[in-house]
Structure 1
Amino acid sequence: MRDLTIGLDCGTGGARALVTDAAGRVLAMAVRDYPTAHPHPGWATQSPADWWGAACGAVRAALAQGGIAPGRVAAICATGTSSTMVALDTGLQPLGDAILWMDCRASPQARRIEATGHPALRRSRAGVSAETALPKILWVKDTAPALYDRSRWFVEMADYLALRLSGELTLGQNQTINRWFYDPRTGWPEDFLAAMGLGGITARFPARMPAVGEVIGPLQPEAAAALGLDPETRVVAGGTDAYVAMVGLNTLRPGETALITGTSHLVLPVVAEDAEVEGLFGPHPDCVTKGVFVMEGGQVSSGALLRWWHDLLHQGQDCYDVLLAAAQTVPPGACGLVVLDFWQGNRNPFTDYDLQGAIWGLTLKHGQAEITRALMESVALGTANILDRLTGKGMAVSSMTLAGGVLRSRFWAQMHADATNTVLRIPEVSEATAFGAAIAAAVGAGLHPSLETAADAMVRIRDEIHPDPASHAQFRAQLDVYLQTHAALKPLMHRMAALTQAAAASAA
């Protein structure tokens, strides 16, 4: 009996495989890590071979952990980090390492794309993100023409995983809508692509563009053997990790908002109308489910910021509990410390990848605990800054369904509720991206008729966190200083970015 599905989530830090039944009961989950390289300031790369090795290890470990017979698995669905770009040759092999989503080397190309002023940019009023695939492809064309000439196909991480699973070359419709300016209602904006310097580039995009939950085909035999699965297992299309997490949170209808936390943060409200919000991306039509639009506001460095600080202090050890316990002893405001959470630039609402992180207000009184709290507060303030743009457009968010790393700390989750003045809904399954992929796989397997009905049947809310009015007032005061700090430091940060970019170019 084929009654189980697997969600495979390849995130920034590693691969997570989750096995569930059609009722949403999680039977097993396993994780395998892989490294990230930072060859220059602002750069970040990963090896596709590392992704596949970790994916196979995670799936095999999950099957063993749950004592699950391969024949019970009806389908597998893979998701990957957004805008992690892979160049493939004519033999469908990667041409070197992938350019990771957080890599912001293509900032000059993003500005050139924005300068076209094309009408397609209405879905990117905040500015063109240097994280996304098109600026990265343009960067390859500008700076590595030999590599560009050898590149037959450009895809994202989720597409590469689908290729390894099924042997089929696809370009997920979800990623192209939310990152590549594709509109499922009108097609590719060919004149826009030409205006940015990528005329004819769609010939290097796979023609097959499956939607989330659509069957791609069966596992290819080599993949089945590597994963420990039956070759008749269906491969189902996933998409951008955070958007697939919306399925795992059941935030698929207008009025619902997902807050996805991890290495980065994403705020994803679903709206019924085609409405623009300055500083946010979207509205993205039919991006996850048909007939609705998704808005997007994101922070590049959120969990990554805390991990950076933790690893500096505790290399080779897991001391997060100690770090967070110390931060809880510090009063709100971190004794006057102010942090800008721009370690890899700002995605929203400033969309400025020439910004850098900052800490000021330091005195000899301050220690690790104060800095930890200030870093955590800065991430919550960044989320509040995004929501303020929605409120300013009359689209106030009263509640968000939360997923990801922030759930591991009730203390940090409460900060987010207080800073944003919203109720946080806590799902039973916290690993929303892998769970969402498993739900999409259940649709592809025929265990549920649609993403909406599958999520209704499989997702449950277990708790809520409510904002504290006094803490919210404190955060509003801090937000004013946060915004003033950004305005004051922006010119200096841009000057420093120009210097580091020139140094990287001369070293390349």
Structure 2
Amino acid sequence: MSATSYVLGLDVGTQSLRAAIVDPQGNTVAFGVSPIETTYPRPTWAEQDPYQWWSAARIAVGQALESGKIGRDQIVGIGLDCTACTVLASDNEGKPLRKALLWMDQRSFHEADEISATGDKCLRYVSGKVSPEWMLPKALWLKRHERDIYRQAARIVECTDWMMHRLTGEWTLSLNHVAVKWNYARPDGGWPLDLMANVGLDDLPTKWPKEIVPLGRGEGKLSRAASEELGLNPGTPVAQGGIDAYLGMIGLGATGAGDVAVIVGSSTCHLAQSSRGVFGSGWAGCYPDATVEGLYTLEAGQTATGSILDWYRRHFAGREQIEAERRGVHIYQVLDEQASAVPPGSDGLVIRDDWQGNRSPYKNPKARGLIAGLSLAHGPGHLFRALYEATSCGTRHILEDGSQHGLEIERVFLGGGGVKSALWLQIHADVLKRPITLTREKESTALGAAIAASLAAGWYGDFDEAARSMVTIERLVEPNPANAAVYDELYERYIQTYHTLNS
């Protein structure tokens, strides 16, 4: 292992692509970022242009190499994480036939209900209900509503699969993605072919690559075409990519028994590893071999958290933006200052954070957001703090549901962009009434992709070994006991409001 060698982690998020150049000890020595645009053609629909993922990769990698003054010979491995369930149709050369259906797109809720109604045995891994975000409902929607696109498509794949093809020139599938979002279960023999035939998707497997590769593994090499665009050496090892939140869990080092990783970004994902299946909860699922072969990964999530904050910023924070520009600070600093001046509980405001439906524990794509309790005494700071409190209540609900079904929780790690807000971190700790574990590297998903790259580079033999060397716990955020009673009351109102709206 050369002291001047580094790995590159590519983190394809909802709002941007981040490129992190990382050393063997997990230090990020250079970083680049490029925005990604999302369009919303109709309520609950969300789409992205796949070509923008690649152009963002070129920009972000170039920024990282230039800012760190790092030569192409120093990059010895590449890792990749992407949003999950971002589905696109393309020809065999990877040319998209339409914009990709972003992970948060809920248009296929009728198809999801139909798939769930089959009662197929594979549904036990997803608590009996398929999300409209996932591969099979979206593919079925395409087949029914855009028949020409579906017929022409040689490939119906995810963002990770398409990006791996752009990087290596080869088509593969990620075991991480298919085990989590495609209803693939090794204990039951793999693909749920009977289920797909029952709903009219018996031809779908012909549009999928045949090779399924475990996360962080494979024989991928950077193609000459990709190397020229990215400014890297052809033949650089490329680890099989996976879901951003799952790489974020690895980047937090939250892989032990009793560990829960809470990845706070545009959405919030909750992940835990288990040697046994935990079934029957409102969590999204219990997935065999999804991260480490031989183990189950439990997952839950909130469809919209950080994206709600961004929605507020875009539509209602004009004055704050002007102030931020005047002071030369980020707008979220101004918003956090306003929210910090408001007492816990936001003077009676209750918000349901179901802007894009409820992923867990209700699995209700028709759920909608609500702001209740407004008065003339409330201002922008109240609203923004209440959004922080609502999203934290959503995480508490998810963790309590898991505990009721046998999930043991000892440590809660937070990662993702949400950890940049000290206020949001403290509210999480206060609402959960648990210490929050923070690691040194705040871009945990990018670090997770770099850890996968470290396996491809041959630095380490597995994720546990790599995490021990590359992840450092920095500190704990302790809950404030003085806020417990206020947040217990708020939490009960948060739960009751859902049932009032959805009865």
TM-score range, shorter chain: over 0.9
Give the equivalent residue in structure 1 for 2:210: 207
Q: Tell me which amino acid in the other structure corresponds to 1:15.
A: L
Measured against aligned partners, the alpha-carbon deviations of 1:4-38 in whole angstroms (never above 9, x if no partner) come to 11000010011100001122121111100021101
Contact 1:277 1:389 in 2 (8 A): no
Deviation at 1:465, TM superposition (A): 1.0
User: Deviation at 1:336?
Assistant: 1.1
* Aligned residues of 1:15 and 1:58 also touching (Cα < 8 A): yes
Letter matched to residue 305 of structure 1: I
1:402 to 398, 414, 420: 414
Provide the TM-score with structure 1 as the length reference: 0.94
**Equivalent residue for 2:399, pick from 375, 379, 387:** 387
RMSD between aligned alpha carbons?
Answer: 1.4
Aligned in 2, Cα 1:26/1:91: closer, same or farther, shift over 3 Å? closer
Aligned match of 2:65: 63
Give 1:496's aligned residue. Answer: none
2:327 alignment counterpart? none
Q: Does 1:322 align with 2:334?
A: yes
SS at match of 2:483: helix
Q: Equivalences for 1:433-472 in 2 at 5 Å?
A: 433-472=445-484
Q: Secondary structure at the match of 1:16?
A: strand
Among residues 234, 239, 244, which one is paired with 1:236 in the alignment?
Answer: 239
Matching residue's letter, 2:55: G
C-alpha distance in structure 2 between counterparts of 1:395 and 1:73, whole Å: 40
Counterparts of 2:63 and 2:219, CA distance in 1: 24
Task: Give 1:21's aligned residue.
Answer: 23
Taking the aligned partners of 1:394 and 1:122, their CA distance within structure 2 comes to: 16
Rounded Cα–Cα distance in structure 2 between residues aligned with 1:361 and 1:281: 31
How far did 1:298 drift?
Answer: 0.2
CA distance in 2, matches of 1:441, 1:287: 18
Contact 1:215/1:234 (8 A) holds in 2? no
CA contact (8 A) 1:126 1:350 kept: no
How many Å separate the matches in 2 of 1:230 and 1:215? 18
Between the aligned partners of 1:308 and 1:418, the Cα distance in structure 2 is: 25
Corresponding residue for residue 8 of structure 1: 10
Q: Select 2:37's aligned residue among 15, 35, 41.
A: 35
Distance in structure 1 (CA, Å) of the matches to 2:313 and 2:94: 38
CA apart distance, 1:473: 2.8
Q: State, as a whole percentage, how many aligned pairs show the same letter.
A: 37
Deviation at 1:126, TM superposition (A): 6.1
Q: Is the 8 A contact 1:253 1:292 kept in 2?
A: no
C-alpha deviation, 1:109, in angstroms: 0.8
> How far apart are the structure 2 equivalents of 1:91 and 1:54?
20
- Distance in 1 of aligned mates of 2:204 and 2:486: 50
Q: Which amino acid aligns with 1:213?
A: G
Regions of 4+ moved over 4 Å: 315-318
SS in 1 for 2:494: helix
Q: Any conservation in 2 of the 1:43–1:105 contact (CA below 8 Å)? A: yes
Q: Conserved in 2, the CA contact under 8 Å of 1:306 and 1:375? A: yes
Work out the CA distance in 1 between the residues paired with 2:433 and 2:144: 45
Output the TM-score relative to the length of structure 2: 0.95
Note the alpha carbon deviations across 1:370-426, whole angstroms, 9 max, x for none. Answer: 111111110000000101101212424232111012211111111111111222110
Of 281-290 and 131-140, the range deviating more from structure 2: 281-290
3-state secondary structure, aligned to 2:366: coil
Give 5+ residue unaligned stretches, structure 2: 323-329
Please report how far the alpha carbon of residue 128 of structure 1 lies from its aligned counterpart in structure 2 after TM superposition: 1.6
Report whether the alignment pairs 1:191 with 2:194. Answer: yes
Q: What residue number does 1:372 align with?
A: 384
- How far did 1:127 drift? 2.5
| C-alpha separation in 2, matches of 1:128 and 1:482 | 25
Matching of residue 345 in structure 1 with residue 369 in structure 2: no
Q: Does the CA-based 8 Å contact 1:42-1:103 persist in structure 2?
A: yes
Cα deviation, residue 84, structure 1: 0.3
Q: What residue number does 1:223 align with?
A: 226
Q: CA deviation at 1:66?
A: 0.7
Q: Letter of the aligned partner of 2:7 in structure 1?
A: T
Conserved? CA contact 2:278–2:405, under 8 Å:
no
**For 1:304-323, what aligned pairs fall within 5 Å after superposition?**
304-314=307-317, 318-323=330-335
| Residues in 1 aligned to 2:235 and 2:127: alpha-carbon distance in whole angstroms | 45
**Aligned partners of 2:186, 2:70: CA distance in 1, in Å?**
38
Work out whether residues 81 and 157 of structure 1, in 8 Å CA contact, stay in contact via their aligned partners in 2: yes
Alignment of 1:267-346 (within 5 A): 267-314=270-317, 318-346=330-358
Instruction: Find the counterpart in structure 2 of residue 495 from structure 1.
Output: none
Give, in angstroms, the shift of residue 132 of structure 1. Answer: 1.2
Residues matched between the structures, number: 491
Amino acid of the residue matched to residue 53 of structure 2?
W
User: 3-state SS of the aligned residue for 2:173?
Assistant: coil
